[in-house]
């Protein structure tokens, strides 16, 4: 059995689509859907029940990215656990089957796929998913705990992981549970697993659609949080890129996508401009904070900016 574990908080606008994709999966094993709701005030719980999901209710204060997912692992009936989020949607009816097939190798303990933006007019067209090359399976396996002999940079890059689209053996999560953190629990788990010599895979052929509208505030906060946790746990920092080339490429894409009406193009160009600016200012503030006050000031600024982890939203009409 495969258990799908989804943390939920006020997800009525997307949860139905998310769960529909699981109901249409072509999988020989049975699928259990486990929703962990942290105080929704909308119709999320009733939607989950309508799809036959088991619903576990916790208080908003007790939600934690690591511990809440550990709770899901403890309560799951399946021996394979698939983690995603309420606003994601599987791209293909064979996603779960393709991912679970990797576990025919008894050494494989976890598999991660990729995420992309769907080609929908309500979503940022500059970021619509489009494969540029044939996906290639990546095997990460360091026997005799040789992973620790790699450079800090190499360890960081190989720890790239994503609980929006990842499957684990339940036994692996019991042996190495997620850490008690409010962010980055997936990267930290992969790092811990590799240090312990576990075999984990990255299969970029397995795609899930996941979209957050990139408002100025959302980008600023989420980028600062990401930078904070990368630095805290891995001593890595995102680099400031003093170039407009990434933004200009997005402008070029928006202008040349025929499906986007001409009168919507200025909106998406401005949208990407503010996202680019917000990203730059967030990284700049992070670096200046470290230079001027070190980790003590960083902790203070983080507590001010990130009292509440920003929740991704869709575009409002």
Q: What is the dihedral of CA 265, 270, 271, 275, to 10 degrees?
A: 140
Residue 51 sits at the vertex; the CA angle it makes with 174 and 45, to the nearest 5 degrees, is: 75
Amino acid 72: pLDDT: 97
Fold of 2-210: Spore Coat Polysaccharide Biosynthesis Protein SpsA; Chain A (3.90.550)
Domain ranges within the chain, ordered by starting residue: 2-210, 216-305
Is residue 44 within 8 Å of residue 37, measured between CB atoms? Answer: yes
Burial of 259 (C-beta count, 10 Å sphere; 0-12/13-18/19+): exposed
Query: In the structure encoding, which two tokens stand for residue 178, read together?
Result: 């997620």
> Could you tell me which residues come within 8 angstroms of residue 221 by beta carbon, excluding any fewer than 6 positions away?
282, 305, 306, 310
* Per-residue pLDDT band at 312 (split at 50, 70, 90): low
Lowest mean pLDDT among 26-30, 192-196, 206-210: 26-30
Query: In the structure encoding, which two tokens stand for residue 14, read together?
Result: 């997307």
In the block, tokens 């984990």 appear at 200
Report whether pLDDT(317) > 70: no
Amino acid 156: pLDDT: 96
For the stretch 58-82, pLDDT in tens is 999 999 999 999 999 999 999 999 9
Rounded Cα distance between 283 and 22, Å, is 37
* Per-residue pLDDT band at 144 (split at 50, 70, 90): confident
Query: In the structure encoding, which two tokens stand for residue 257, read together?
Result: 């996508």
Rounded Cα distance between 163 and 114, Å, is 10
In the block, tokens 């920003």 appear at 310
Average pLDDT, rounded, for the chain: 93
For the stretch 88-98, pLDDT in tens is 999 999 999 99
* Greatest CA separation for the chain: 59
* Per-residue pLDDT band at 45 (split at 50, 70, 90): very high
Is residue 199 within 8 Å of residue 109, measured between CB atoms? Answer: yes
167 — phi, psi (to 5°)?
-125, 140
Q: What is the value of pTM for the model shown? A: 0.94
Burial 34-53 (b: 16+ CB within 10 A, else e): bbbbbebeeebbebbeeeeb
Considering only CA atoms, which of 280, 129, 301 is closest in space to residue 219? 280
Is residue 47 within 8 Å of residue 116, measured between CB atoms? Answer: no
């Amino acid at each position: 059995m495969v258990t799908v574990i989804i943390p939920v908080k006020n997800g009525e606008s997307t949860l139905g689509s998310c769960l529909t994709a699981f109901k249409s999966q072509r999988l020989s094993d049975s699928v259990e859907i486990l929703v962990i709701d942290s105080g929704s005030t909308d119709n999320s719980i009733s939607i989950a029940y309508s799809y036959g999901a088991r619903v576990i209710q916790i208080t908003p204060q007790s939600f934690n990215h690591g511990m809440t997912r550990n709770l899901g692992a403890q309560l799951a009936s399946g021996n394979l656990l698939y983690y995603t989020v309420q606003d994601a949607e599987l791209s293909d009816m064979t996603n779960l089957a393709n991912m679970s097939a990797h576990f025919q190798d008894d050494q494989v303990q976890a598999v991660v796929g990729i995420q992309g933006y769907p080609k929908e007019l309500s979503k940022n067209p500059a970021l619509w998913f489009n494969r540029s090359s044939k996906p290639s399976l990546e095997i990460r396996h360091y026997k005799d705990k040789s992973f620790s002999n790699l450079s800090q940079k190499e360890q960081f890059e190989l720890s790239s992981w994503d609980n929006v689209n990842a499957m684990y053996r339940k036994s692996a999560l019991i042996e190495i549970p997620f850490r008690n953190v409010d962010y980055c629990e997936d990267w930290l788990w992969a790092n811990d697993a590799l240090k312990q010599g576990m075999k984990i895979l990255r299969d970029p052929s397995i795609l899930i659609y996941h979209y957050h509208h990139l408002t100025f505030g959302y980008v600023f906060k989420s980028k600062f949080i990401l930078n904070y946790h990368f630095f805290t746990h891995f001593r890595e920092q995102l680099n400031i890129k003093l170039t407009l080339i990434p933004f200009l490429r997005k402008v070029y894409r928006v202008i040349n996508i025929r499906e986007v009406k001409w009168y919507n193009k200025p909106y998406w160009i401005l949208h990407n401009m503010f996202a680019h600016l917000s990203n730059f200012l967030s990284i700049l503030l992070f670096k200046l904070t470290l230079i001027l006050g070190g980790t003590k000031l960083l902790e203070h600024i983080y507590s001010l900016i990130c009292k509440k982890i920003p929740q991704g939203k869709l575009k409002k009409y």
